[in-house]
Amino acid sequence: MIKEITFQELNPSQFINEKVNEIRDIVGNGTAINALSGGVDSSVVTMLGHKALGNNLKTVFIDNGIMREGEPAQVSGFFKELGVEVSIVDARDSFFTALKGITDPEEKREAITQTFYKDVFGKLVRESGAKYLLQGTILTDVDETVAGIKRQHNVFEQLGIDPQEAFGYRIIEPLIQLRKDSVRKTGEALGLPKELFDRIPFPGPALSARVIGEATPERIETARKATVVVERLLKNTGAFQYMAILHEDRVTGIRDGKRDFGQQIEIRCWESKDARIATPTNLPFETLQKLANDILDEVPGIVSVTYNIASKPPSTIEAV
Amino acid sequence: MIKEITFQELNPSQFINEKVNEIRDIVGNGTAINALSGGVDSSVVTMLGHKALGNNLKTVFIDNGIMREGEPAQVSGFFKELGVEVSIVDARDSFFTALKGITDPEEKREAITQTFYKDVFGKLVRESGAKYLLQGTILTDVDETVAGIKRQHNVFEQLGIDPQEAFGYRIIEPLIQLRKDSVRKTGEALGLPKELFDRIPFPGPALSARVIGEATPERIETARKATVVVERLLKNTGAFQYMAILHEDRVTGIRDGKRDFGQQIEIRCWESKDARIATPTNLPFETLQKLANDILDEVPGIVSVTYNIASKPPSTIEAV
């Protein structure tokens, strides 16, 4: 049973000191490795590990090819300013190979998870020689699993590491007693930049969740370009979440007087407190027109743009 | 060369008298047949033919299964009130059989045209024994074809009638000297009800142009139900045209707490003078919400609704 540290109980600087010492005690003169995604949890773990181990922590940022425009450079840039070196690992080919031919949303998610753990991060862990693995697991992640030991065993399994054979691997989870609000509070105390916390919620399967149908490099690039426009024009709306979705259906368009059987982008912009119920944002008509015009101008192959007007339920926030 | 009667030149009651006499002279004691679609041209031809021939004109309304809710009954009802008997021919099976498995928009159009002429109307013409065929061709239809004779030959070919073998068939085209505005003026003088002229433009391939992908009976029924909502809520907007389009892409929804992989309806509502350029109508947000809610409530299988925000060009008025 893991003992929760509540938001009220949390003393961030004391918590940071304790965790830094714990990590140092466990790893000693060894080396540790962790994967940074740019989310709050993995960012806080990276800072704690860096404070504890300095250059004995290897932090990797895995570019899976389905991130937003400039995301790997932006995240590693934040950490460079804090004195933390992050290795960007180009694993785009591995992910696109795994996603080839898959159209079912659940199968896409599974392919991304499998590729991340087994093919890419598992290999990095084994090759690094590091025996200590820092993970940003939080209490909410644990709630639904049976017990800590079984869960940790599962992580090894996901990484393709047999703990019997490869004796001595150990997983360190410094945030396991915290919930999201406490992680944020700790992150602020660690000096993580405001932009890291302000970034809009983004799904695990990243842009592959923003294309209906197969996530090819070309289709992901189309969704990425449309996402640039949507984030640029909607970032100051105060909306809960906003996104561009590439449809698979073909619709008729006309370019230079000729029929152009093209693609459609759907924009969703949500008002919500906790994502359980959500309604479309009442955007000014000029904003909708600007969104459509900029996407039609800047995103090759798009001839049609729509705006979602259905609420959740029965809709959901993401389309796939 | 056909001599145009301009809108300014047209004296409707004189024109009606002349055409009624012409039809009577040509058909004599024979019988004639025509197909009524409910459009202005075929409606005017039906009235002229009825005035000239009474019961010696057989008017058929072919229910192709891809019309809007209640359309066959509504159109035949208009004519019943004017004393004109219209036979509704249930040809839904023929059309759906021809549309089976077809997803390409051009192939859908072709299948509908072929089924109409060859399978359904051609057969009705041959079985009726009528040797005279009344058609609502107007001058605009002729503009792009070479000459009257070749065009009429083509009509026979479309109907699967060999004019050599089946000697004596004749096509009568009373509106061939008129353009659309003059046809409307003639229709008003004939006492056709205002509702016939006020109906929103509707494409030849009807609801099959309002489903992306295969036009099955089930998918057409979905588009039909959504069209009822859209026409009900937008009929007083004064917009140029409005429509509901059923997408083929599947999107995630949630019903009764469970994941429901459902379908999406796209609504388009256009401001335009002549359909060459068009912009989406700035509908009040409450109207958009009501459209979405009513469709989600009334149309089974729909979990998502969008509103088109792209202009023509590069979009087009219809999606397929």
pLDDT digits (tens, 9 = 90+) for A147-175: 455 555 566 667 777 655 666 688 899 99
Contacts of B311 in chain A (CB under 8 A): 289, 292-293
| Between B170 and B163, residue with greater pLDDT | B170
Select the residue from B248, B249, B270 to test the A interface by mutation, using most A Cβ atoms within 10 A: B249
Query: How close A55 gets to chain B, by Cα (Å)?
Result: 45
Burial of A93 (0-12, 13-18, 19+ CB in 10 A): exposed
Backbone angles phi, psi at B182, to 5 degrees: -70, -35
Give the pLDDT score at B2: 81
Q: What is the ipTM of this complex?
A: 0.87
Instruction: Give the β-pairing of A86-90 and A279-280.
Output: unpaired
- Closest partner CB to A309 (pick from B251, B253, B307): B307
**What distance in Å separates the CA atoms of residue A70 and residue A96, rounded to the nearest whole number?**
18
Residue of B nearest to A267 (CA): B306
**What distance in Å separates the CA atoms of residue B67 and residue B89, rounded to the nearest whole number?**
13
Mean per-residue pLDDT for B27-34?
95
Q: Is the pLDDT of residue A139 over 90?
A: no
**What distance in Å separates the CA atoms of residue B287 and residue B33, rounded to the nearest whole number?**
45
Give the pLDDT score at A144: 56
Contacts of B280 in chain A (CB under 8 A): 288-289, 292
Q: Which helix (H) or strand (E) holds B173?
A: none
pTM of the full structure: 0.88
Contacts of A319 in chain B (CB under 8 A): 251-252, 304
C-beta atoms of A289 and B309 within 8 A: yes
C-beta atoms of B306 and A250 within 8 A: no
Give the pLDDT score at B145: 56
Select the residue from A251, A272, A291, A298 to test the B interface by mutation, using most B Cβ atoms within 10 A: A251
Mean per-residue pLDDT for B222-232?
97
Q: Which amino acid is at B140?
A: T
Instruction: Give the β-pairing of A258-271 and A241-255.
Output: antiparallel
**What distance in Å separates the CA atoms of residue A234 and residue A46, rounded to the nearest whole number?**
30
Query: How close A266 gets to chain B, by Cα (Å)?
Result: 8
Asked if residues B315 and B308 have their Cβ atoms less than 8 Å apart, the reply is yes
Strand, coil or helix: B17: helix
The residues of B whose Cβ lies within 8 A of any Cβ of A are: 105, 212-213, 247-255, 260, 262, 266-267, 280, 282, 285, 288-289, 291-293, 296, 303-316, 318-320
C-beta atoms of A288 and B306 within 8 A: no
Give the pLDDT score at A257: 82
Query: How close A117 gets to chain B, by Cα (Å)?
Result: 26
Give the pLDDT score at B144: 56
Contacts of A299 in chain B (CB under 8 A): none
- Closest partner CB to B249 (pick from A247, A313, A318): A247
- Closest partner CB to A305 (pick from B253, B310, B319): B310
Q: What is the pLDDT of residues B128-154, one digit of tens each?
A: 999 999 999 888 777 655 545 555 656
**What distance in Å separates the CA atoms of residue A318 and residue B260, rounded to the nearest whole number?**
13
**What distance in Å separates the CA atoms of residue A320 and residue A209, rounded to the nearest whole number?**
6
Q: What is the pLDDT of residues B95-127, one digit of tens each?
A: 999 999 999 988 999 999 999 988 899 999 989
**What distance in Å separates the CA atoms of residue A118 and residue A112, rounded to the nearest whole number?**
10
**Residue A238 tokens, joined:** 């105060």
Give the pLDDT score at A153: 57
Q: Is the pLDDT of residue A307 over 80?
A: yes
